A and B are shown apart, each in its own frame.
Chain A
Amino acid sequence: MTTETHSSTEHGMSNAGYVKIALILAAITALEVATYYVDFGPLFMPALMIMMVVKFVVVVSYFMHLKFDNKLFTWVFYAGLFLALGVYAVALATFHFFS
């Protein structure tokens, strides 16, 4: 294998696109911080979790190019992520963390 590569810039995004995404991320972050000051009632936890997941997925899909790259990368990464989620959630559940 050679060290030089031409990766997926062809199907990547324009710089303006990246800036747009960063603005969206910034807006979500602002909303997240807002939950700290404004009472969202029962929506608080779900809203926070959804915003966290959205930010995570956006960074991974666009900034890390997973959306445009080979699916193999997506599989190995999300395999680790979901495995972590699975085993640690179960371990915490045995400590009655969620109840």
Chain B
Amino acid sequence: MAIIERPPSTEVATPATPSSSLGALKRPVSTTGWKSWVFTVDHKKLGIMYSATALFFFIVGGLEAVLIRLQLAAPNGKVLNADLYNQMFTMHATTMVFLFVMPMAAGLANYFIPLQIGARDVAFPRINAFGFWAFLFGGIFINLSWFMGGAADGGWFMYAPNSGPVFSPSHGIDFWTLGLQITGIASLTGAVNLITTVLNMRAPGMKLMRMPIFTWMQLVVQFLLLFAVPVITVALFLLSFQRNFGATFFDVASGADPLLWQHLFWIFGHPEVYILILPSFGVISEVLPVFSRKPLFGYPFVVFSGAAIGFVGWGVWAHHMFASGLGPVSVAVFSVATMAIAVPTGVKVVNWTMTLWGGKLEFTVAMKFAIGLIVLFTIGGLSGVTHSVAPSDTQQTDTYYIVAHFHYVLFGGAIFGLFSGFYYWWPKVFGKLLNEKLGTWNFWLMVIGMNMTFGPMHILGLQGQPRRMYVWTEQRAGEGFFNLGFWNTFASIGSLILTVGVLLFLINIVITARNGKIAPLDPWNARSLEWMTSNPPKEHNFDSIPTVSHLDEFFHRKYQEDANGQMVQVKTAEQVLKELEDNADAHIHMPSPSYWPIIIALGLPVIAFGMIYSIPISIVGGVIVLFGVYGWAIEPSTAPDDDFDPPTTTKDVVHVG
């Protein structure tokens, strides 16, 4: 069968004719049905798949969180026993960090980076597909442990000795370790792919300093992933070898230094927190200018402070280890470095505020979430600064105060940013506007719920409630009305409100899909290139690749300065799009679908499974991978021209990828 080419202007879908293609299996060619998704290499489809999967894991992680809060809602909680409680908080954090926020950001990156830089796809479309499947299978693999004797229970940072077989005899941590290796491969390949895409695939004139901020922040994130993932890879391998093959890397009794794990984990872990937050910073740096009707204040500062965060983020990891006996010199150095990192973060907050200042603000739901991020993240950033002071941190560490800190930055920051992005970009991806009214409820319930849940944790922590405590009793809750018991119950009620808030988002999705308003071409009067395409964009994104001459190119095509220096609208979005369509490239050959990415990815959990249960299974997995790699290697990423339908012999074919 031939690969179907869709000429940009004429909507012909001639039936595909059989023809040959290289590779052991003939290429998949379906353009509809499940096969068009499973074997796709299209960055937009993959972006949707990443995000949908991440959303699913968000629900899983959310249910785990609710169980945790139910257990702590009342004294002598009976919802979970101690063992299950340990599994629950470990898997909650793991799921939220590795299976929700990271892949959700990856989904947005996949979908929007090529659109924002004026490209038709990413640099390595098949690697992109592989990355998605590796993430999905890795995520499933980690969660399989629930059904195979219990999940990981050592906390998301998995310190020794809790990570050793003595304290965690089930296979949970083995699943966790190997599953994270697999999702790590996905992150690493994604980083190589997206960095190459950003550097190499920009439209003519799209200089680095003309790139939308979201793309910039993602570029920083991908560099962080590129260099941070291998560090956790080492740590996870050492742990696997300890658990599965009898090594003693973190076993004090055998003379090991358990701090080695802590160093490796946090050398990865601190860059990781910026991997989680910077994409959201990018999102709101797009949203705020659009709904303030003015350009981002201090674009270069936002870019360079983002890069600075990425750089300084490598020099602060030991602030997670202040209480571990590092020695006074190390503690002092890392304490100062941590204070320093608050500076570029503060620069960003100032820039956003200045963007709002004097703008014609339009409080759409996307805008509400963006402003919510500024406020809530700042609270979290401030508590962060309080634990950068080591003596103060020794009081706070391992208490609920830390839990409060990271939920303000992660929920109030990362997740609010992602939600802002959902409401902003939904019409681009699905052609329909999410319901704003429901969205407003969604927003306020999340704000109230999140503050009720995590706000009291500051108090709980400063009163000395340790984190990861599975039960509390009346006696230990203390005296007075506002005792620890009260605040625990209060936080649990908050978590239910939060849940309702998130639920409203899911309901909004359903309602919008059923009978949502069809989005106009440019619903928000936006500024960047991704809006210079149809909703949703065509498979090849742009009929002709735009030449870029401005930051905020789309805005500058619509608006020009008049004699008085006022920006006035000279063209509608429809007219701008029409210009691109009129110059459409005749034959665009997109990268062709392929079986191999999913096949290779499928081999990985099989290998991992064998490492836990029986090495021969690993060999089978290895063979699957090898088979996939060979198929991949001999199949060209874009089918030859005569494989297209109709076969193209003319010279004016544009090849993508």
Contacts and interface: CB of A to CB of B under 8 A. Distances in A.
- The answer on direct contact between A and B (beta carbons under 8 Å) is yes
Interface of A: 1-3, 72, 79-80, 83, 86-87, 90-91, 93-95
B314 A94 contact: no
Specify the main secondary structure of chain B where it touches its partner: helix
A94 B636 contact: no
A91 B257 contact: no
Interface size range on B against A: 20 to 34
Contacts of B327: 94
Main secondary structure of the interface of A (DSSP, over half): helix
B314 A80 contact: no
Closest 10 CB pairs of A and B: A91-B263, A94-B330, A87-B267, A94-B326, A83-B227, A80-B227, A87-B314, A83-B314, A95-B257, A91-B267
A93 B327 CA distance: 11
Contact of B318 (A1, A86, A94): A94
Contacts of B200: 1
B199 A3 contact: no
Contacts of B314: 83, 86-87
22 contacts: A1-B123, A1-B655, A1-B657, A2-B655, A79-B227, A80-B226, A83-B227, A83-B314, A86-B314, A86-B315, A87-B231, A87-B267, A87-B314, A87-B317, A91-B263, A91-B264, A93-B330, A94-B259, A94-B263, A94-B326, A94-B327, A95-B260
Interface string B320-351: 00000011001000000000000000000000
Given A83-B314, A91-B263, A95-B257, A72 B326 contact: no
Interface of B: 123, 199-200, 226-227, 231, 257, 259-260, 263-264, 267, 314-315, 317-318, 326-327, 330, 636, 655, 657
A93 B318 CA distance: 12
Contacts of B259: 94-95
Nearest to A72: B199
A42 B73 CA distance: 67
Contacts of A90: 315
B119 to A, nearest CB: 11
Contacts of B231: 87
Contact of B636 (A3, A79, A93): A3
A83 B318 CA distance: 16
A95 to B, nearest CB: 6
A47 B336 CA distance: 36
Nearest to B325: A94
A31 B343 CA distance: 49
Nearest to A2: B655
Nearest to B326: A94
A87 B316 CA distance: 10
Contacts of A72: 199
Nearest to B264: A91
A36 B36 CA distance: 62
B218 to A, nearest CB: 17
